[in-house]
Structures are given as C-alpha cells and as structure tokens.
Amino acid sequence: MVQILIRMDPTVEQWTIVELQGALETRDEVSLEGKNIGDLHFDSMGVPQLIIGHHLLTGKVVVLDKPYAVMRKVTKGDPMETDQRDTAETKYDVVALVKRKIVFKSRPKPIIIKSEPIRT
C-alpha cells in the first residue's frame, strides 16, 4: 500500500454526504444541478429529516470508517505550451474532509395538512 502524506490547513471545512435511495425526478425533466431540492432539519432527538416538496424522509447519521478528502488539482504552468512536460507543477489542495454521512433508506412519507373548517 502506498501512503501519500498531505499537509492540511487547519481551517479545512468538514462536509457531510447525503445519501438517498432511488432517484429524484422532476415533472419537467429539468436538471437539478445547483438547485435547492429540499430542507434538512434535525428533530429534538438528533434524527435528520429531509423535506422535499410534500414528502418527508427520515434518516440516520453514520460515521464513516475512513474519512474522505475532497481535493482540488492545481497545475501551475501549461504543459501544452512548452516542449517539456516536466515544467508544469501539479499539486493537490485539500478543500474539505468528509467524516460522516446522512443516510435516507426508507420510503418518503407524504405530508398532509389537515384543514379545519372555518366557523362563522
């Protein structure tokens, strides 16, 4: 096994993976990239709840056995501009660490609002 030692900035963010079972589909088949798909809340017991439209998903927080590092590749110099490819310097910056994930395994429950008749 090869180990790569990485020096990290102490201000590296911690991210959490949100894992859903199945697929998210829209009526108009538009891309969901970069769009808000729902609201994530934690109840008084610390249980995560995800509200998407009129659906409620209940999940659980899982600590990963091995954390993931989210890295950004940074290349200084353009190897295509010169004849020598060795002149381009490549390094990887750690952007964030992922140490846990929120797993939503169960089917979503519909949110139904009970309306009271208006009394006059």
pLDDT, tens digit, for every residue of 5-24? Answer: 666 677 788 899 999 988 88
pLDDT bracket for residue 57 (50, 70, 90): very high
Q: Is the pLDDT of residue 4 over 70?
A: no
C-alpha distances (whole Å) from 62 to each of 16, 17, 42, 117 are 10, 10, 14, 43
Q: Is the pLDDT of residue 105 over 70?
A: yes
- pTM of the full predicted structure? 0.71
Give me the amino acid identity at 46: G
Alpha carbons 61 and 45: distance in angstroms, whole number: 12
Tokens of 118: 């208006």
pLDDT in the model for residue 7: 65
Which residue in 93, 25, 11, 16 sits closest to 62, CA to CA? 16
Alpha carbons 99 and 17: distance in angstroms, whole number: 9
Domain boundaries, the chain: 40-75+90-107
pLDDT, tens digit, for every residue of 46-55? Answer: 999 999 989 9
SS3 118: coil
More confident residue, 22 or 58: 58
